[in-house]
Structure 1
Amino acid sequence: MPGLKDVKDKISGVKKTAQITKAMNMVASAKLRGAQEKMERFRPYAGKFAEAMSDLSGGMESTDLPLMEVREVKSVEIVVVTSDRGLCGSFNANIIKEAEKLKRKYEAEGKQVSVVTVGKKGMQALKKTGTLRKSFNDIMGSFQMFNAREISQDITEAFLAGESDQVDIIYGKFISVGVQRPEVEELLPIKPVASEEDVPQETTGATGSYTYEPDPNEIMEVLLPLYLNVQIYHAMLEVGASEHAARMTAMDNATKACKDMITDLTQLYNKARQAAVTGELMDIVGGAEALK
């Protein structure tokens, strides 16, 4: 049985750890409120943007614009969005696992795979694969739209240069405070949505026709890069909120685990103290008996 001082030191150490995890839980909770509100405000904008793109692209040929060009897929680029910091449970690990699974799938099909990471955790895990083309680190703590624009320009240049024929993005989608799941979406090429003539009437409901000025192709030339910016920024917002939610849950579980350890160590301390007292009493009684 360990000595009283050793057990007491362990109890003191676990109590200090519990104070740290509780403080981190409170910080994550405060940051989550802001990140979740920002993400929820952006979701309708991203949805309406996607609707406008769907209406504009309906009936367009994929060869009309370079970013919509569908070609034989020989090389795929995967954009992996994670957090810069850890201590958020399995959140980053799940995204990285999904990215590695997708990478193995494409390689098994004979396609060349390159990876672009957004967030330090993704870079640290995937740089050893030898497929990392570029990484964007230390931006997830305070990212803005210009960060998404920089990432979008980089992957767009690679796509237009023929370095990649398809671009996928993987990020942690915020479902609820307790649930965050990896999400995979295809970024490039941007595929046109079927026109109304191709959609069964019963699924469309009320319909209307729109007149665009200038020509829809001219509008799409401007909107396509903006659409990519919106998609990447939305993924970063989802990861930002998911990170704080996962950290809050992880730190809450850690605090509870510390309390359980303190209870067990306190019982061990009481047993050790009782054993020490019993031993001292036996020494006293034995000494008294020896004097008789």
Structure 2
Amino acid sequence: MASLKALKIRIGSVKSTQKITKAMKMVAAAKLRRAQSNAESGRPYSARLSDVVSSLASRITVGPQSPRLIAGTGAEQRHLIVLASGDRGLAGAFNTNIVRAARRAADELIAQGRQVSFYLVGRKARPVIGRFYPGQIVGQFDTSEMKNPSYAEAQAIAAEIIERFESGQFDVAHLAYSNFRSVLAQEPTVDQIIPVRPAAANDSAASGASAAVEYEPDEEDILAALLPRNVAVQIYRALLENQAGFYGSQMTAMDNATRNAGDMINRLSIQYNRQRQAAITTELVEIISGAEAL
């Protein structure tokens, strides 16, 4: 059984931890507002750009002159998963859920006889991916110094991914990230970003894209300019969604940690008071027994 001094030291230690977790919760809550606003603001643009590119892709006939980002390589054997995770922990299962979604997608592709490689954005995914898929990490983009995602960084990532695609290192690219829904809900998502998937006929009809439209210049020239930008925008959106999801998960995790610390303090305080009362009672009994002996 722990001594009174040891219990008192432990109670003080837990109280210090509780102050830290409470402060981290408040900081995460303050940062979440801006991150959530950025993520929500970026969704309409990225969704609309993706719809426009998919609609254009469905209108052209793929040929030798078509942009490779839409025509592809003519094969689907080699797949690259661009896995965007965080650089820090203390956010519950945020990073774990993204990695699990990417692993699930990779395992499905491997089961179909495909070759899978990984390009990592952020540090937290590397230990797990390196353990389960040794030798399959082909690159990594360091975001440890990135306080807030910027479009310039998304462009840099997209440029490297497109360069690898143009050099024939893979046939299909997927983007794995956490889609922010609410503070308590983040949805790990894996989307194909290269080559662009043409819009389905029913999707085009539903969005009104089936109307007669004339393009100047033609669709292929427009696509050649829009396709690299679309990849960068989708990566930028993933970074924004990840940041909002991270702060939401961290706020929830720190709130739970603060509550757990409070419960532990209560239990330790009860144990401390009981042992202290037992010690006092023992001393009183000894004093009374000594007085009676005299």
Deviates more, 1:95-104 or 1:205-214: 205-214
Residue correspondences, number: 288
> Does 2:94 match 1:91?
yes
**Distance of 1:58 and 1:111 partners within structure 2:** 26
Q: Which residue of 2 aligns with 1:154?
A: 160
| Per-residue deviation, 1:143 | 2.4
**Distance of 1:43 and 1:212 partners within structure 2:** 25
| Per-residue deviation, 1:192 | 2.1
1:176 aligned to which of 173, 176, 182: 182
Instruction: Render the CA deviation track for 1:12-35: whole Å, top value 9, x for unaligned.
Output: 011000000000000000100010
SS of 2:190's equivalent in the other structure is strand
Q: Which residue of 1 aligns with 2:234?
A: 231
Instruction: Render the CA deviation track for 1:97-149: whole Å, top value 9, x for unaligned.
Output: 12222222222222211101111111233233321111112155332111111
| Per-residue deviation, 1:178 | 0.6
Aligned pairs for 1:170-209 (under 5 A) are 170-194=176-200, 198-199=201-202, 203=206, 208-209=211-212
**Distance of 1:282 and 1:266 partners within structure 2:** 24
Q: Which residue of 2 aligns with 1:62?
A: 62
**Distance of 1:66 and 1:147 partners within structure 2:** 23
Q: Normalising to structure 1: TM-score of the pair?
A: 0.93
**Distance of 1:202 and 1:48 partners within structure 2:** 15
Q: Which residue of 1 aligns with 2:15?
A: 15
Identical columns (%): 39
In the alignment, is the contact (CA less than 8 A) between 1:180 and 1:242 conserved in 2?
A: yes
Residues 125 and 206 of structure 1: is their aligned pair in 2 closer, same or farther, counting only changes over 3 Å?
closer
1:119 aligned to which of 122, 125, 133: 122
**Distance of 1:163 and 1:97 partners within structure 2:** 24
Aligned pairs for 1:1-292 (under 5 A) are 1-63=1-63, 64-70=66-72, 71-128=74-131, 129-130=133-134, 131-137=136-142, 138-194=144-200, 198-199=201-202, 203=206, 208-291=211-294
SS of 1:120's equivalent in the other structure is coil
Query: What amino acid is aligned across from residue 6 of structure 1 in structure 2?
Result: A
**Distance of 1:204 and 1:20 partners within structure 2:** 50
**Distance of 1:212 and 1:143 partners within structure 2:** 33
| Per-residue deviation, 1:237 | 0.5
In the alignment, is the contact (CA less than 8 A) between 2:54 and 2:196 conserved in 1?
A: no
**Distance of 1:165 and 1:88 partners within structure 2:** 34
| Per-residue deviation, 1:200 | 9.2
**Distance of 2:276 and 2:191 partners within structure 1:** 60
Query: What amino acid is aligned across from residue 43 of structure 2 in structure 1?
Result: R
Instruction: Render the CA deviation track for 1:237-272: whole Å, top value 9, x for unaligned.
Output: 100100000000000000000000011011001101
Residues 205 and 149 of structure 1: is their aligned pair in 2 closer, same or farther, counting only changes over 3 Å?
closer
**Distance of 1:24 and 1:36 partners within structure 2:** 18
| Per-residue deviation, 1:206 | 8.9
Residues 54 and 247 of structure 1: is their aligned pair in 2 closer, same or farther, counting only changes over 3 Å?
same
In structure 1, stretches of 5+ residues that fail to align are none
Residues 115 and 254 of structure 1: is their aligned pair in 2 closer, same or farther, counting only changes over 3 Å?
same
| Per-residue deviation, 1:205 | 6.2
In structure 2, stretches of 5+ residues that fail to align are none
In the alignment, is the contact (CA less than 8 A) between 1:59 and 1:193 conserved in 2?
A: no
Q: Normalising to structure 2: TM-score of the pair?
A: 0.92
Residues 21 and 155 of structure 1: is their aligned pair in 2 closer, same or farther, counting only changes over 3 Å?
same
When the two chains are superposed, the root-mean-square deviation of aligned CA atoms in Å is 1.9
Query: What amino acid is aligned across from residue 89 of structure 2 in structure 1?
Result: G
Deviates more, 1:57-66 or 1:43-52: 57-66
Deviates more, 1:80-89 or 1:91-100: 91-100
**Distance of 1:182 and 1:41 partners within structure 2:** 20
